[in-house]
Structure 1
Amino acid sequence: MTSTHSTTNIVIAGLGGQGIITASDILAEAAFRAGFDVKKSELHGMSQRGGSVTSDVRFGERVLSPMVPAGEADVLLVLEPTQIEINRPLLRAEGVLLTTDVIPPDALKNKKSLNVAMLGALSGVLEIDEDHWLNAMHAHLAEKLHRINDEAFELGRRCAQPD
């Protein structure tokens, strides 16, 4: 995806405990490894009790603010269906809405890897090399989780490919 402006704006939304912050950390690091200036912010709400969580990641040649302005998200990635309509106003008219519908329900070996599978789907619409994604994932996840998350990431990449 090439943004219509010099900054790419991504919003990741879901509920506390779904790995929203981890996913945004991985995305931010992958973009940084790809040579972009990166800014990130997050809103936790009642995140430890399953409340709404959003994280904004902005990257480009030069990024001044970490917050994605309303109506300017290039991609809205949502891990919890109840959060789609709540966050839809953040998405620009031509933006991409990525929901968990792209991942077959029984395809994940570990349901806790849904956030990483969704990053795999996201990787298909961003111009960041796969190596940067994998290196960022490995930097943020315990070594014992690398294999299962590598598989989840690849599943997301495959599932999000257009037929």
Structure 2
Amino acid sequence: MSKEVKNILIVGVGGQGTLLTSRIIAQVAVQMGYDVKISEVHGMAQRGGSVVSQVRYGEKVYSPIIKKGDADVILGFEKIEAARWLSYLKPEGILIVNDERIDPLPVMSGKARYPDDIIDKMKGLVPSTLVVNASDIALKCGDIKVANVVLVGVLSKVMELPIEEVEKAIIAIVPPKYVDLNIKAFHEGLKLV
């Protein structure tokens, strides 16, 4: 067991499954014998607002909060949300971002413009950027709602989480009738790295 605390910041908008994802990752860490702390900020989640989950695990974790510059990984479910939180990533950290665009209210109202080159800008700032189209893969699995678990697969590969522990966590957290679909999405995510 590593003594080093690992910090994962999960960002997206309401309805994308960020909270379920944080619970799966936390469950994996508990199963592996780590101390785990989670912090969740829902904001206006039901209205498509920003949702942020922080998962910290290690031999001993004293706080659920990730400080700026301390995240080992940012798991971004939407491009603008990923860009918004980049200051929390370690210089050698990894950005995993779903190539999904969900227009925030200022863009929908015409008061702002969604940046066309946001992925290129993030890649310029973070050398270790993985861009995946989790939403398309989820649709091929049978339901766009499992895009979050496709991203769990990518994260698991990057963080070297044991496949069998992630599968056990999915079985423990996801409602039984959706387990097979989520396991399939998880394995599709593993193939992307």
Normalised to the residue count of structure 1, the TM-score between the two structures is: 0.92
Q: Which moved more, 1:59-68 or 1:104-113?
A: 104-113
SS of the aligned residue for 1:95 comes to strand
Q: Secondary structure at the match of 2:60?
A: coil
Out of 161, 178, 190, the residue aligned to residue 128 of structure 1 is 161
Which residue of the other structure, out of 45, 64, 78, is the alignment partner of 1:80? Answer: 78
AA aligned to 1:65 is S
Shift of 1:104: 5.9
Distance 2:80 2:134 in 1: 18
Please tell me the root mean square deviation across aligned C-alpha atoms, in Å: 1.4
Matching of residue 147 in structure 1 with residue 177 in structure 2: no
Deviation at 1:119, TM superposition (A): 0.4
Q: How many residues align?
A: 157
| Residues 1-163 of structure 1: pairs in structure 2 closer than 5 A | 6-100=4-98, 101-103=131-133, 106-108=136-138, 109=141, 110-159=143-192, 161=193
C-alpha distance in structure 2 between counterparts of 1:103 and 1:142, whole Å: 25
Q: Structure 1, residues 112-160: CA drift from partner, whole Å, max 9, x if none?
A: 000001000000111321111111111111111011111100010101x
Q: Percent identity?
A: 40
Indicate conservation of the 8 Å contact 1:10/1:75, yes or no: yes
The two structures have a TM-score, normalised by structure 2, of: 0.78
Matched residues in 1 for 2:10 and 2:161: separation? Answer: 17
Unmatched 5+ stretches in structure 1:
none
- Indicate how the Cα distance of structure 1 residues 52 and 105 shifts in structure 2: closer, same or farther if over 3 A, else same: closer
Point out where structure 2 has 5 or more consecutive residues left out of the alignment.
99-130
Q: Whose Rg is larger?
A: 2
Q: Distance in 2 between matches of 1:122 and 1:140?
A: 17
Partner amino acid for 2:14?
G
Contact 2:67-2:88 at 8 Å conserved across structures? yes
- Residues in 2 aligned to 1:26 and 1:119: alpha-carbon distance in whole angstroms: 8
